[in-house]
Amino acid sequence: MKSISHDRWALLVSAVILLVLPLVASGYVLYIVNLLMVFVVLSLGMHVVIGEAGQFALSHTAFYGIGIYTAGLINTACHPPFFISILAGGLLSAVLGYVIGLLALRMRDIYLALATFAFGEAMQWVFLNWDKVTGGSNGMRMQPAELFGLKLTNDLQAYPFVIGVAALMLWLTVILSRSQYGSCLRAVRESEVAAMAMGINVKAMKQSAFAISAAFAGIAGGMYTLFTSFIHPESLGFQTTILVLTMVVVGGIGSVRGAVLGAIVFGLISELLRQALSVQEIIYGVILMGFMMFKPKGLFAGNQKRAATVITPAASA
């Protein structure tokens, strides 16, 4: 019961801060908040596939990119209400995610990680070279997102909508986590054999987890187009995937709270230390190694409760 009221507190305080911010801070600060919201959604997506379903998918950023380009292109071409472009991005990512999920059926752990990593890198290459669609290494300029005539041309205007979408995705994640489906995913994570024995369709679980996580990433991409006018593929590679992975792992694998907090902390570090890249990298390195050494489960160890404890032999000498 105690943790529930902690969550309520946190939500209330955040709501108040977010409400007051536009009145006191510059557009640049709002830009940072918008960016953090995108990271939160990316983190939640990765939480679903790694935290809940235990599938090591390192292709996250590819779907993020697909979401950005899809939404951006649709916005520029037809100017529909923005949620249509965002949904389109999410849908396309979900479909591709489902297909990539096929890989998960045949591979485990490190092999899945390597395969999805290769896929992610190959996608970045596509983004960099498919000039006709993505503008290639020129980057792509996007027209502002619209909502029934209202054009979102700066961070302030996009702000409420970005937060709205992020809140929605958070809500969806919590529902998913608490649902039967969430339990099934966690069962698959713990032991595929046992899950199958219980009658869970492991294949469907894995592929749907992939699809859902990809959809989240795609939607995060759509959110990004609400407040930016330009995208360059150099930020759509493995570095970003690792950043999101860090957010989830340090926040706490298996924990929604962890994913959100990890996103905010690392998103802030990433932007505030933008000018001092070497310091940023050293700090990352120290945080990652430090956490893995002392608190490997992350800040909020998630639903890791097991019925029985594992008996370990004498510790390695």
Partner 1 sequence: MSLNDSWLFLQQGVLSGLVTGSVYALLAIAIVTVFKTTDVPNFAQGEMFMIGGYVALTLLLIVKWPYAVVIPLTLVIVAMGGALFQRVVMERVTGSKGVGVQLVIATLGLAYGLKGLVRQTGLGDTPRSLPPLVSGDAVLIGDAVLTRLDIAIFMVALVVMALLYLMFNKTRIGKAMRAVGMNPRAAQIVGIRLSHIRMLVWALSGLISGLAALLIAPKVLITPDIAHIAILAYAAAIVGGFTSLPGAVLGGFIIGILENLVGLFISTNAIVVAPFLAILLTLIVRPQGLLGGKPQLKKV
Partner 2 sequence: MKFYKPLLLCATFCAAVMSVAHAQQEPGLTDKTIKIGLFAPLSGNAMAYGFDVMNAAKMYYDKINKEGGIHGRKLEFVVEDDRCSANDLLAAVKKLTEQDKVFMLNGGSCSGAVVGAREYIERAQIPYVMLNASGDGALYPPSKYIYGAFSISQRAVGGSMVQFAAEHLKGKKIGYINHDDAYGGWNLEAAEFQAKKIGVDLQVQSINPNLTDVTAPMLKIRAANPDVLIITTYARPVSLLVKKAQELGWSKPIVIAVNGTADLKQLVENVGNKDAFKNVYLQEVMLDVAGGPKLKWVYDMYKAYYPELAAKPGYPQTYMPYGIPSAMAVVNALKAAGPNPTREKVLTALSQTKFDSGVMAGPIELTPTDHAAQKSAIYLKFDGESMNVVPDTYRSLWTY
List contacts with partner 1 (CB under 8 A).
50, 56, 103, 106-111, 113-115, 117-119, 121-122, 125, 129, 191-193, 242, 245-246, 249, 253, 277-290, 292-297, 313, 315-317
Stretch that binds partner 2, among 48-56, 80-88, 150-158, 202-210 (CB under 8 A): 150-158
- What residue 315 binds from partner 1, partner 2, none (CB within 5 to 8 A, per partner kind)? partner 1
Residue 296 Cβ, how far from partner 2 at the closest point, in Å? 31
Q: Is residue 239 a contact residue for partner 2 (CB under 8 A)?
A: no
- What residue 73 binds from partner 1, partner 2, none (CB within 5 to 8 A, per partner kind)? none
- What residue 228 binds from partner 2, partner 1, none (CB within 5 to 8 A, per partner kind)? partner 2
**Token pair for 249:** 């792992």
Residues of 110-122 as b/e, b for ≥16 C-beta within 10 angstroms?
eebbebbbebbbe
When binding is defined by CB under 8 A, the residue of 10, 19, 77, 289 that contacts partner 2 is 19
Q: Is residue 148 a contact residue for partner 2 (CB under 8 A)?
A: no
Asked if residues 289 and 65 have their Cβ atoms less than 8 Å apart, the reply is: no
Cβ neighbours of 246 (radius 10 Å): 21
What value, to the nearest 5°, has the Cα angle with vertex 251 and ends 248 and 252? 85
Residue 262 Cβ, how far from partner 2 at the closest point, in Å? 21
Q: Is residue 34 a contact residue for partner 2 (CB under 8 A)?
A: no
Encode 177-240 in three state secondary structure. HHCHHHHHHHHHHHCHHHHHHCCCCHHHHHHHHHHHHHHHHHHHHHHHHHHCCEECHHHCCHHH
Q: Is residue 9 a contact residue for partner 2 (CB under 8 A)?
A: no
CA–CA distance, 260 with 273 (Å, rounded to integer):
20
Residues near 148 by Cβ (< 8 Å), separated by ≥ 6?
Answer: 81
Contacts to partner 2 from residues 199-238, by CB under 8 A? 228-230, 232, 234-235
- What residue 266 binds from partner 2, partner 1, none (CB within 5 to 8 A, per partner kind)? none
Stretch that binds partner 2, among 15-23, 97-105, 114-122, 300-308 (CB under 8 A): 15-23
CA–CA distance, 156 with 292 (Å, rounded to integer):
38
**Token pair for 109:** 């752990």
Encode 242-288 in three state secondary structure. HHHHHHHHHHHCCCHHHHHHHHHHHHHHHHHCCCCHHHHHHHHHHHH
Helices 202-227 and 155-178 pack at an angle, to 10 degrees, of 170
When binding is defined by CB under 8 A, the residue of 84, 167, 196, 301 that contacts partner 2 is 167
Cβ neighbours of 170 (radius 10 Å): 18
CA–CA distance, 229 with 35 (Å, rounded to integer):
13
When binding is defined by CB under 8 A, the residue of 6, 9, 10, 26 that contacts partner 2 is 26
Q: In terms of CB distance, is 129 or 304 closer to partner 2?
A: 129
What does the per-residue mask of binding to partner 2 show for 250-289, with x meaning CB under 8 A?
---------------------x--xx-xx-----------
Q: In terms of CB distance, is 50 or 170 closer to partner 1?
A: 50
Residues lying near partner 2 in the complex (CB under 8 A) are found at 8, 11-12, 15-16, 18-19, 22-23, 26-29, 31, 129, 136-139, 141-142, 144, 153-157, 159-160, 163-164, 167, 171, 228-230, 232, 234-235, 271, 274-275, 277-278
